[in-house]
Amino acid sequence: MYYKRTMGDDEGVSVQAIATTFEILETLRDRDGAGVTELATEVGVSKSAVYNHLSTLSALGYVTQENGRYRLTYGFLQLGLAIRERSPLYTASKSALQTLARTTNETVNLVVPEGTHGVYLYRVGGDEHPIPEGGQLALHASAAGKAILAFWDATRVKEFIEERGLPALTDGTVTDPAALRDQLRSIRDRRVAFDRGEQIPDWQCVASPVVVEGDPIGAVSVSGPADRMRGKRLEEDTTGLVVSTAKSIEISLLESDGRTNTV
Amino acid sequence: MYYKRTMGDDEGVSVQAIATTFEILETLRDRDGAGVTELATEVGVSKSAVYNHLSTLSALGYVTQENGRYRLTYGFLQLGLAIRERSPLYTASKSALQTLARTTNETVNLVVPEGTHGVYLYRVGGDEHPIPEGGQLALHASAAGKAILAFWDATRVKEFIEERGLPALTDGTVTDPAALRDQLRSIRDRRVAFDRGEQIPDWQCVASPVVVEGDPIGAVSVSGPADRMRGKRLEEDTTGLVVSTAKSIEISLLESDGRTNTV
DNA sequence: CCACCGCGTTTAGCCATAGAGAACAAACTT
DNA sequence: AAGTTTGTTCTCTATGGCTAAACGCGGTGG
């Protein structure tokens, strides 16, 4: 029995126990609770190992056991929200996004780049979005992602494409580098990006980037099911509102921010 | 050199590496980023140990390194928000709480019990609250906490008091068990709890519990600085709105919920 | 009613590995 | 340029994380 892990992704992982713990935690997140045996087979370690991890996490307050099943506690909410709260972009955007959600009557997202993917940092005005708040998204296949990519310099975009490729998430996903670059140029000029089912079928999206000192620290997007995001007037109006909201966030960031760092 | 940890809280911790990792993570959260040496002295382990932990966490995507400092990524947001999203109470409450925030023009909180403390599961309508969203609160020294305690049975309250005591957080904190029990009785009858600077000086609060099948799964609270939470009319109006909001959440939970579990 | 799973938990014990410590390199302050 | 201080790498070994096997219990079905 001597394959070490289920998968060989131990690149740079020097403390195995941590990798195991997070595999357990992620499984608990995805299944909304689980038992020891279940986790042991899923993660690929012995029952007693899982038990040790769980009891440790439980002693630390990150996991609870109720009626035989283990589940994550809100300790992770404390970790996650604390980081978000420290983001100047988030605090500067929040109320403007709420207003935008109310006037458009659609789901409004704040997306930030992290590494080579995007994160839904905040959402307001709807719960029907397929990717949950806090979840990740592909930068090349979403309006918000493209709005961010548009303000990266060419070499960085090149590296991004080389590293991640342009996998097709739907029929509409832009998979050709040249086509993507064309779009990015126009997005940079107009400050608007669109997504018509490139990320999720029948899901449309308008986004505008928030750029501080040339750096796209995030993007505001409005999204909804394709059948509701129709009509020229509405579309144009929404687009205008998204752009002006993003712009006003930029301005309020410049005002407040003398030396604090961005994002 | 043979004291093991800085503090001897290794009760039930059988995988030391996990405890170390979470100490590092919590330090990163509290300081909003830190360096290796800094963390090593703070946590009380060697630099190389910290380095190993950080590079592992970094490989797993929970930590990034930018310009020399390590900081938490939004991976924790994904863990934390995923749990919240699964809470029927949260999803059932959200829009009602937003409405409440708009009509009262004050900060509205949703608090849930976890173990022997409370957690601010959601907040809307203000950012001046001293305890951040996702943060913990003492059940005996807050309106929302007392609203929850009021619907625990006597033995559980007794155990709670024995385990945690009733530490005074301000001059106004209720520290006498008998006095607390008196308050709880009246809270259970009226379905309203008050906090006039018992948790934080000059910070007032009104709360009403959400009770499902006799179990207080959470509480709705409205809070603000003492000078703004004055005036009989406003106070009575607010109280009424809080109670009716909590009640309406109860009802919508009962409607949707046939067999799904609570909290 | 009892044998039988299945579960979470506990117990031994070996071997890997997590961590200490020192040496290194690069980025600073002086 | 010398002197600090940082992050990183290396080596080594006692620690502690992990496996395997056994335990106790609650539920199920014969």
Shared domain for A50 and A124, answered yes or no, is no
**What average pLDDT score do residues A216-230 get?**
88
A100-126 tens-digit pLDDT: 999 998 999 999 999 999 999 999 988
Q: Which of A252, A255, A262, A256 is nearest to A96 (CA)?
A: A252
Shared domain for A58 and A95, answered yes or no, is no
Supply the pLDDT for residue B118. 97
Q: Looking at the domain assignment, is residue B19 inside a domain?
A: yes
- End residue of a domain, out of A53, A73, A93: A73
Distance between CA atoms of residues A126 and A107, nearest Å: 5
Shared domain for A54 and A88, answered yes or no, is no
Q: Which amino acid is at B134?
A: G
Question: Nearest CA to CA, how far is B31 from chain A (Å)?
Answer: 10
In chain A the first and final C-alpha atoms are separated, in Å, by 46
Share above pLDDT 70 across residues of chain A, in percent, rounded to a whole number: 90
Q: Looking at the domain assignment, is residue B79 inside a domain?
A: no
- pTM here is 0.88
* Cβ–Cβ under 8 Å, residues B246 and B208: yes
Shared domain for A133 and A227, answered yes or no, is yes
- End residue of a domain, out of A54, A73, A92: A73
**CATH for B132:** 3.30.450.40
**What average pLDDT score do residues A41-62 get?**
93
- With beta carbons under 8 A apart, name residues in chain B contacting A119: 74, 77-78
**What average pLDDT score do residues B54-68 get?**
91
Which residues lie across from B209 on neighbouring strands?
Answer: B219
Q: Which of A249, A244, A243, A197 is nearest to A223 (CA)?
A: A197
- With beta carbons under 8 A apart, name residues in chain A contacting B86: 32
**Angle CA B125–B130–B135, to nearest 5:** 85
Q: For chain A, what is the domain count?
A: 2
Supply the pLDDT for residue B233. 64
Shared domain for A227 and A139, answered yes or no, is yes
A117-124 sheet: strands from edge to edge: A136-137, A117-124, A107-114, A215-225, A203-212, A193-196
Contact assignment for B17 to A17 by CB distance below 8 Å? yes
Shared domain for A20 and A45, answered yes or no, is yes
Q: Looking at the domain assignment, is residue A79 inside a domain?
A: no
Three-state secondary-structure class, residue B205? strand
Left, alpha or beta for B170 (phi > 0: left; psi -120 to 50: alpha)? beta
- With beta carbons under 8 A apart, name residues in chain A contacting B73: 83, 114-115
Distance between CA atoms of residues B51 and B40, nearest Å: 9
Distance between CA atoms of residues A58 and A46, nearest Å: 18
Residue numbers of the domain that contains A8: 2-73
Q: Which of B25, B56, B82 sits opposite A15 (nearest CB)?
A: B56
Of A44-48, A125-129, A193-197, B3-7, give the lowest mean pLDDT range: B3-7
Beta strands in chain A (DSSP E): 63-66, 69-72, 107-114, 117-124, 136-137, 193-196, 203-212, 215-225
Shared domain for A26 and A141, answered yes or no, is no
Supply the pLDDT for residue A231. 65
Q: Which of B64, B80, B136 sits opposite A79 (nearest CB)?
A: B80
Q: Looking at the domain assignment, is residue A24 inside a domain?
A: yes
Cα A159 to chain centroid, rounded: 20
Q: Which of B145, B182, B175 is nearest to B161 (CA)?
A: B175
Tell me which residues of chain B, numbers 38 to 67, contact chain A at a CB-CB cutoff of 8 Å.
52-53, 55-62, 64
Contact assignment for A29 to B84 by CB distance below 8 Å? no
More confident residue, A1 or A38: A38
Q: Which of B20, B118, B78, B216 is nearest to A77 (CA)?
A: B78
Q: Looking at the domain assignment, is residue A78 inside a domain?
A: no
A98: number of Cβ within 10 Å: 19
C26 closest protein residue (CA to C1'): B68
Supply the pLDDT for residue A228. 75
B42: number of Cβ within 10 Å: 16
Cα B9 to chain centroid, rounded: 22
Question: At a CB cut-off of 8 Å and minimum separation 6, what does A158 contact?
Answer: none
B222: number of Cβ within 10 Å: 28
Instruction: Measure Cα distances from A82 to A188, A262, B6, B26 in Å.
Output: 32, 16, 25, 10
The size of chain A, in residues, is 263
Tell me which residues of chain B, numbers 64 to 83, contact chain A at a CB-CB cutoff of 8 Å.
64, 71-74, 76-83
* Cβ–Cβ under 8 Å, residues B210 and B217: yes
Three-state secondary-structure class, residue B211? strand
Query: Could you tell me the sign of the dihedral formed by the alpha carbons of A58, A62, A66, A70, in that order?
Result: negative
Q: Which nucleotides of C are covered by protein (CB under 7 A)?
A: 6-12, 17-23
B242-252 tens-digit pLDDT: 999 999 999 99
**Nucleic strand D contacts from chain B, 41-70, CB < 7 Å:** 47-48, 51, 54-55, 65, 68-69
Cα A147 to chain centroid, rounded: 14
Supply the pLDDT for residue B229. 67
D10 closest protein residue (CA to C1'): B48
Shared domain for B100 and B54, answered yes or no, is no
* Cβ–Cβ under 8 Å, residues B76 and B225: no
**CATH for A16:** 1.10.10.10
Shared domain for A169 and A114, answered yes or no, is yes
Q: Which of A14, A60, A134 sits opposite B22 (nearest CB)?
A: A60
Instruction: Measure Cα distances from A43 to A13, A36, A108 in Å.
Output: 16, 10, 36
- Crossing angle of the two packed helices B47-60 and B36-43, in degrees rounded to 10: 110
Shared domain for A238 and A108, answered yes or no, is yes
Count the helix, strand and coil residues of chain B and give each as a percent rounded to the nearest 5.
50, 20, 30
Instruction: Measure Cα distances from B86 to A121, B89, B261 in Å.
Output: 18, 9, 10
- Rounded to a whole number, what is the largest CA-CA distance in chain B? 65
Whether the per-residue pLDDT at B6 is higher than 60: the answer is no
Shared domain for B69 and B88, answered yes or no, is no
Q: Looking at the domain assignment, is residue B244 inside a domain?
A: yes
Contact assignment for B85 to A132 by CB distance below 8 Å? yes
Q: What is the DSSP letter of A74?
A: T
Max mean pLDDT range (A56-70, A169-183, B214-228) = A169-183
Distance between CA atoms of residues A28 and A22, nearest Å: 9
Q: Are strands A193-196 and A136-137 parallel, antiparallel or unpaired?
A: unpaired
Whether the per-residue pLDDT at A157 is higher than 80: the answer is yes
Distance between CA atoms of residues A261 and A255, nearest Å: 13
Shared domain for B171 and B207, answered yes or no, is yes
- End residue of a domain, out of A41, A73, A105: A73
Q: Looking at the domain assignment, is residue A263 inside a domain?
A: no
Q: Looking at the domain assignment, is residue A97 inside a domain?
A: yes
Supply the pLDDT for residue B11. 62
